[in-house]
Amino acid sequence: MDLLKTLVDKGLRRELPTRDEALAVLATSDDELLDVVAAAGRVRRQWFGRRVKLNYLVNLKSGLCPEDCSYCSQRLGSKAEILKYTWLGKDEAVAAAGAGLAGGAKRVCLVASGRGPTDRDVDRVSQTIEAIKEANEGVEVCACLGLLSGDQAERLRTAGADAYNHNLNTSEATYGDITTTHTYADRVSTVQQAQAAGLSACSGLIAGMGESDEDLVDVVFSLRELDPDSVPVNFLIPFEGTPLAKEWNLTPQRALRILAMVRFVCPDVEVRLAGGREVHLRSMQPLALHLVNSIFLGDYLTSEGQAGKADLEMIADAGFEVEGSGTTTLPEHRAGALAAAGGCGSHGGGSCAPCGDAAEPAAEETSGAADVRTDLVNVRRRGAGTDLAPNA
């Protein structure tokens, strides 16, 4: 298939494919799927070998958010029966992080719902970052606190944060259909503030919200232009009680094509398989490891994921290996550039401690995706904010 040969050649040279080429990946048939996965897998192995980086989420503050993001179970007006709690204490957060690290995670992602942090919130999170770093040598810490000012980014960086996550989520053209309480430009600005402060930028998308192929390509090309070090790909978890609860329009095959397209557009970036993999990829999760080089271990913010032990078994059974704390995630050319900018030492230096033509969706995908598996959407009832042991 000439398209795939072209995309592999471009990926091995870190050359951007055309929009038509990216759209053509999404338009490939199920008969071509394994060829697509194999081609994108060549690009993945060129830059990341067979390593899989494990990341662990700690939800510092759950629910009670004033923003109206339609996809989110923590949004204003959400009727999803999720855990709701205010800030975890520092010791609770350190213990939660420790559980994930003991399970093999290399990075801890500290997340708090809300529009953005107050200065007091930044102080609180900074103290938590310092405590986690003190207790766990070589750990990477990423913060995800919403919209950020430059001063706040600097303070997190000084406290030892390695990375900052703020996703674009969807295309600029459709962003207003998903969220009205802040703008796409606000999100871009936050990613740029994090980069300017020397933090490794982490920014990705959510697929499955009713978007078109063109929207998916638009947001991934926008991410390529922003040049984050890691790109999380989430698949919508349709929580009951949210506006997008009825959006069940993904198949495992389409999810794999989306991941392959992201890998071709962002060949040397840490592509992370994030929320919703268990819901939409299901038994085809191991195939995704040929496309991504990073996953979340265990549970997510408000939903339960695959058992941490099953994650580790899946990685081993598929012939991959968990990336150790002494290994630099990013390829040398990216890690060196980040370090030269004063970035995270876990990426190889630096000053901190160890981030064809457009086609309509195929008819069989749209109709075949209607298998509504609400049994796979499990609200998190363990771990942070509870008295039960976490899944790690």
65 is catalytic: yes
Q: Residue 349 has what pLDDT? A: 39
Long-range contacts of 43-46 (CB under 8 A, 24+ apart): 43/7, 43/8, 43/11, 43/12, 43/263, 43/264, 43/267, 44/263, 44/271, 44/290, 44/291, 44/292, 44/293, 46/11, 46/12, 46/267
Residue tagged active-site, from 144, 202, 266, 344: 202
Helix (H) or strand (E) segment spanning residue 233: strand 230-235
Q: At a CB cut-off of 8 Å and minimum separation 6, what does 308 contact?
A: 103, 104, 297, 298, 391, 392
Radius of gyration, CA atoms only, the chain: 19
The closest of 260, 262, 178 to 220, measured between CA atoms, is: 262
Q: Residue 150 has what pLDDT? A: 80
Q: Outline where 247-356 has alpha helix (H).
A: 252-265, 277-280, 285-288, 308-317, 332-340
From CA 138, how far away is CA 72, in angstroms rounded?
32
| Contact call for residues 21 and 3 (beta carbons, < 8 A) | yes
Q: Is 202 annotated as a binding residue?
A: yes
Which CATH entry fits the domain spanning 2-50+163-376: 3.40.190.10, 3.40.50.11690, 3.20.20.70, 3.40.50.300?
3.20.20.70
Identify the burial level of 82 via C-beta atoms within 10 angstroms of its C-beta, where 0-12 means exposed, 13-18 middle and 19 or more buried: buried
Residue tagged active-site, from 44, 69, 334, 352: 69
Residue tagged active-site, from 157, 257, 272, 380: 272
Q: How far is CA 337 from the centre of its chain?
A: 22
The closest of 308, 369, 302, 370 to 111, measured between CA atoms, is: 302
From CA 34, how far away is CA 95, in angstroms rounded?
41
Residue tagged active-site, from 109, 144, 266, 355: 109
Please tell me whether residue 258 adopts helix, strand or coil conformation: helix
Q: Residue 355 has what pLDDT? A: 37
Q: Is 272 annotated as a binding residue?
A: yes
Q: Residue 341 has what pLDDT? A: 63
72 is catalytic: yes
| Ordered per-residue pLDDT tens for the chain, 392 residues | 799 999 999 999 999 999 999 999 999 999 999 999 999 999 999 999 999 999 999 999 987 888 889 888 878 777 777 778 889 999 999 999 999 999 999 999 999 988 999 999 999 999 999 999 999 999 999 999 999 988 999 999 999 999 999 999 999 999 999 999 999 999 999 999 999 999 999 999 999 999 999 999 999 999 999 999 999 999 999 888 888 889 999 999 999 999 999 999 999 999 999 999 999 999 999 999 999 999 999 888 887 889 999 999 999 999 999 999 889 999 999 987 777 666 554 444 333 333 344 444 444 444 455 577 877 787 788 888 888 888 88
Q: Is 109 annotated as a binding residue?
A: yes
- The structure tokens listed for 342 are 């004063």
CB atoms within 10 A of CB 85: 14
Identify the burial level of 367 via C-beta atoms within 10 angstroms of its C-beta, where 0-12 means exposed, 13-18 middle and 19 or more buried: exposed
Q: Is 72 annotated as a binding residue?
A: yes
144 is catalytic: no
Residue tagged active-site, from 65, 266, 344, 352: 65
Q: Residue 281 has what pLDDT? A: 97
Q: Residue 83 has what pLDDT? A: 77
Residue tagged active-site, from 142, 144, 266, 352: 142
